[in-house]
Structure 1
Amino acid sequence: MTILIGLTGSIGMGKSTTARLFNEEGCPVWDADAAVHRLYAPGGAAVAPMAATFPEAIEDGAISRARLKAIMSRDPSALAQIESIVHPLVARDRADFVHNHRKNLTELTNPAPVLVLDIPLLFETGADRGMDYTVVVSAPPEVQRARVLERGTMTPEQFENILEKQIPDAEKRARADYVIETETLESARQQVQSILRDIRQRADHA
């Protein structure tokens, strides 16, 4: 049996670091953001359909995120069209990852292998329905805000706009099977280890 964990969390909550901690514990990790980069790159599966719908989004044979942002700023309705192209391709990439790992494993593998699927919009897209367990990473609002603004890649206004488009942290926490508090790295590591022990114990007694 292969166990699927859906990992999510709002911007600045420490999701990427937590995904790395799972990987360090031996869990293969699929990264939705990395999948989008592959799809947008030259030769990526999203390039041709995007070029057919938004030819101005293509630059040097790849999909330009900057050009997509410009398109959406001019026409907010373009977001739904872009998502209709990208989301199914991302879902297929994720399914291929799971399939490729499962075919290399046997039902006798012990402990039960755990695959972690790092999906920023896990609940928003309904991808949580395909998971055995969901894990939400979280931190106090002031820590989240400080982390994001310290990156220097967005303004406070842009940060607030992103938050408005995501399910609130409190709702994600309520819907999750497990919550990881990420204020310190060592604490997050211990929580990851504890979750894996619990999940594997459940699998042993299933």
Structure 2
Amino acid sequence: MSKFIVGLTGGIGSGKTTVANLFAKQGITLVDADLVARDVVAPGAEGLEQIRAHFGDQILLDDGNLNRAALRELVFNTPKERQWLNQLLHPMIRAEMLRQVASASSAYVIMVVPLLFENGLDKLVDRTLVVDISPELQRQRTIQRDAVDARQVNNIINSQSSRAEKLAKADDVIDNQGEISKLECEVLALHQKYLHLSGKA
């Protein structure tokens, strides 16, 4: 029987990690796209080898890790190179995420993907859950958390699907503008719903 997968997403600063960790507290396995993306370019990984072969040693730090800033610089202004990089890494990330889902033993799996809709990964999940907050709160939280300026935050927000687009595509929505206790109640209610949907209730 195939695993029931919930795709968890939301804009930057919306509180995806907080929500994911509340599901983890219920014993649910998390498969995090950001962590997988780091793993596929770790020293010794095939992803990093191919990137080095393509761009040269300039994209490596002295310790052999990927120099993300240098790579970002190389691909940001060159659409062709960015496309090459995405075509290399996206299938690797997708395959590793599905491998982790398959080996999970919890009743269902939460796949945490910041760009779930943008990268078409919603096709891999049975249900989508969007963590929603107002754009004002999004900016405020991100500026505080990442110590970045408002212009940078606006650029990131503008590069993601709009709030309206995410909400239109969501099967479930968590409003994360209130207290943590309210958030915990919302997660528990969804947990019961997903157990039921996965046939494990």
Same fold (TM over 0.5): yes
Q: Which residue of 2 aligns with 1:90?
A: 93
Helix, strand or coil: the match of 2:151? helix
Q: Distance in 2 between matches of 1:142 and 1:95?
A: 35
List gaps (5 residues or longer) in structure 1: 106-111
Q: Which residue of 1 aligns with 2:68?
A: 65
Q: Which residue of 2 aligns with 1:113?
A: 107
Matched-pair contact (CA < 8 Å) for 1:47–1:61? no
What is the 5 A alignment of 1:38-187? 38-55=39-56, 56-59=58-61, 60-101=63-104, 113-183=107-177, 184-187=179-182
What is the 5 A alignment of 1:2-21? 2-21=3-22
Q: Distance in 2 between matches of 1:186 and 1:62?
A: 40
- The one-letter code of the counterpart of 1:142 is E
Identity %: 31
Q: Which residue of 1 aligns with 2:195?
A: 200
Q: Distance in 2 between matches of 1:147 and 1:86?
A: 29
1:73 positional shift: 4.2
Matched-pair contact (CA < 8 Å) for 1:9–1:138? yes
Q: Structure 1 residues 186, 121: CA separation in 2 closer, same or farther (over 3 Å shift)?
A: same
Helix, strand or coil: the match of 1:113? coil
Q: Distance in 2 between matches of 1:30 and 1:174?
A: 24
Q: Distance in 2 between matches of 1:72 and 1:150?
A: 28
1:149 positional shift: 0.6
Q: Distance in 2 between matches of 1:203 and 1:74?
A: 44
Matched-pair contact (CA < 8 Å) for 1:43–1:62? no
Q: Which residue of 2 aligns with 1:108?
A: none
Paired residue total: 197
Q: In the TM superposition, what whole-angstrom CA distance separates every residue of 1:78-100 from its partner, at most 9, and x where no partner exists? A: 22122111111110110110122
List gaps (5 residues or longer) in structure 2: none
What TM-score, normalized by structure 1, do the two folds share?
A: 0.88
Matched-pair contact (CA < 8 Å) for 1:51–1:58? yes
Matched-pair contact (CA < 8 Å) for 1:47–1:58? no
Matched-pair contact (CA < 8 Å) for 2:76–2:82? no
What TM-score, normalized by structure 2, do the two folds share?
A: 0.90
